[in-house]
């Protein structure tokens, strides 16, 4: 059942890793050179105002870009050297030059939280909606880093909140993913598309549910976000919340009428996940809303079998209290009792036997629970029960 733990890879991880390449502007070779142009960029990097002024007076091209496409304005914007940024802007530095990854000075300033520089660049007409090769905008990076003041300015100056990254992430999806509650509210107030789907068909609600951001889930549900949209792996916000053990979110989604027995590509339901992970609270909520306690996922695994396999006694008791069939077998003929014995869960074996599990049942290979178990004490317990 390891597939259950391999859901969508976080799209934002690729966003961040790709940005590492974008932000690297000095190669070892470039640093080794001591020509005027290299010194210009190094001075912008170190915040050496005097050197910048001298080089500009000598006639250096204010818009010179190195092999990575970085200009002095980009470098100073990235590292927060406001005085140098203002000096370069006075010399009519091009605010919209792009580096090799299509990042601009505005994108770099927003990514690093330099609000004053963001304001200065916007005042000079910087393209507010410029995107990197991955489709990342200044607004998206400010949201990801939780630079709320920068977010406010970008939105007030007309940043397009509907733009998408290469993976179709929107500003709202990123805010929901990162747990930026106040920013989610602001985006929704500016008519962000609440049900926009990323390339993997996940939504803002899905990401908030996955990462346990209860307040954001509540906000999105109150705004009538679609709660049963399926991601590319056929999972829903309820499914992912159940998998990750977010009981409050599971209850909120169920209260809105989310489908309780939605199945993924392996026929696993939210209850399957709750039983597998041993989350009694989630399992109880799902059962109370009609989840099928004997649903068989891929290879015939029921919630009870999975709970027994992993020794989750509280979930086992809950399932049995709700009339789960104790002797159901998976495709290999293995019962919950057999799995418990095989994995040395003595307490689970005791509970199942007390609740009436049949120790005489045989698997497809013709073995009983006692013949499958390894622990001598459990074997003896099963042998006695089979007499």
pLDDT value at residue 225: 98
Residue range 162-187, pLDDT digits in tens: 999 999 999 999 999 999 999 999 99
pLDDT value at residue 292: 98
pLDDT value at residue 100: 97
Kindly report the pTM of this predicted structure.
Answer: 0.89
List the CATH code of the domain at 10-160.
1.25.40.20
DSSP state of 335: B
Pick left, alpha or beta for residue 258 (phi over 0 → left; psi -120 to 50 → alpha; otherwise beta).
beta
pLDDT value at residue 18: 39
Buried-exposed string 120-136: b where 16+ CB fall within 10 A, e elsewhere: bbbebebbbebbbebbb
Nearest Cα residue to 382 out of 364, 365, 348, 366? 348
pLDDT value at residue 25: 42
- What is the domain partition of the chain in residue ranges? 10-160
pLDDT value at residue 365: 96
Low-confidence ranges of the chain (pLDDT < 70): 1-34
Buried-exposed string 9-25: b where 16+ CB fall within 10 A, e elsewhere: eebbeebeebbeebbeb
pLDDT value at residue 387: 86
Give the SS3 label for residue 164: coil
Distance from the Cα of residue 237 to its chain's centroid: 12
């Amino acid at each position: 059942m390891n597939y259950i733990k391999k859901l969508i890879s976080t799209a934002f991880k690729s966003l961040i890793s790709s940005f590492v390449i974008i932000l690297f502007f000095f190669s070892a070779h470039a640093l080794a050179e001591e020509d005027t142009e290299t010194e210009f960029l190094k001075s912008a990097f170190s915040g050496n105002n005097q050197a910048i002024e001298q080089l500009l007076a000598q006639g250096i091209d204010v818009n010179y870009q190195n092999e990575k496409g970085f200009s002095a304005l980009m470098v100073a914007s990235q590292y927060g050297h406001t005085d140098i940024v203002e000096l370069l802007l006075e010399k009519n530095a091009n605010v919209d030059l792009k580096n090799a990854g299509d990042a601009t000075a505005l994108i770099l300033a927003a990514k690093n939280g330099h609000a004053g520089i963001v304001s200065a660049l916007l005042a000079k007409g910087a393209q507010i909606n410029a995107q990197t090769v991955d489709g990342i905008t200044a607004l998206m990076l400010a949201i990801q880093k939780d630079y709320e003041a920068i977010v406010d300015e970008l939105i007030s100056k007309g940043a397009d909140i509907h733009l998408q990254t290469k993976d179709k992430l929107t500003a709202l999806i990123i805010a929901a993913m990162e747990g930026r509650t106040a920013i989610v509210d602001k985006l929704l107030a500016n008519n962000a598309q609440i049900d926009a789907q990323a390339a993997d068909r996940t939504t803002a609600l899905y990401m908030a549910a996955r990462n346990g951001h209860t307040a954001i889930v509540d906000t999105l549900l109150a705004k009538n976000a679609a709660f049963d949209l399926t991601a590319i792996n056929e999972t829903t916000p309820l499914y992912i919340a159940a998998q990750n053990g977010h009981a409050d979110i599971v209850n909120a989604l169920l209260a809105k009428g989310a489908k309780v027995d939605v199945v993924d590509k392996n026929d696993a339901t939210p209850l399957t996940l709750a039983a597998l992970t041993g989350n009694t609270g989630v399992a109880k909520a799902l059962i109370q809303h009609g989840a099928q306690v004997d649903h068989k996922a891929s290879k015939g695994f029921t919630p009870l079998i999975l709970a027994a396999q992993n020794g989750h006694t509280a979930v086992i008791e809950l399932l049995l209290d709700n009339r789960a069939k104790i002797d159901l077998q998976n495709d290999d003929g293995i019962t919950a009792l057999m799995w418990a014995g095989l994995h040395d869960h003595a307490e689970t074996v005791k509970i199942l036997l007390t609740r009436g599990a049949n120790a005489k049942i045989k698997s497809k290979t013709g073995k009983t629970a006692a013949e499958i178990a390894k622990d001598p004490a459990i074997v003896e317990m099963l042998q006695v029960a089979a007499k």
